[in-house]
Amino acid sequence: MDSGYCVSFLKHLINGLAMHTLPLPLEKLRQMIGRTVVLRSHTYTVIEVLDHLPALVLQADDAALTIQADLHGHARRQVTQTMIIPVYAADGTSLNEGFLELGLL
């Protein structure tokens, strides 16, 4: 395969990704913070939006505390369970099934 073609294709791909705008604006995702959702018969609260993925961080409302390990693997404290739900599927163009299950749209 011609290396010039590969370089041209990669530049086109990178430019396309850089110009890609989210179908769900980050502001709309941020408005979901504080909402209570049910996922797989457990209740969670949306506590944060990770801008760089984008993803929602959920905190379990009805789960027992779990033990959190420190950097060295030693048990240090009890915390409520959290879960990260990506907004988009692996293909980057469709919504993640887990996000759709939240019923926020």
Q: What are the pLDDT digits (tens) for 55-66?
A: 999 999 977 788
Domain membership of residue 1 (yes or no) is no
CB-based contact 88:63 (threshold 8 Å) = no
pLDDT at 17: 45
Burial 8-41 (b: 16+ CB within 10 A, else e): eeeeeeeeeeeeeeeeeeeeebeebeeeebebee
pTM higher than 0.75 for the full model? no
Residue 3 within any structural domain of the chain: no
Residue 4 has pLDDT above 60, yes or no: no
Neighbouring C-alpha atoms within 13 Å toward the C-beta of 89: 8
Q: How many domains would you assign to the chain?
A: 1
pLDDT at 3: 54
- 13 belongs to a structural domain: no
Is residue 16, in this structure, part of any structural domain at all? no
Residue 18 lies in a domain: no
Which structural domain range is residue 37 located in?
Answer: 23-101
Residue 55 lies in a domain: yes
Whether pLDDT at 86 is above 80: yes
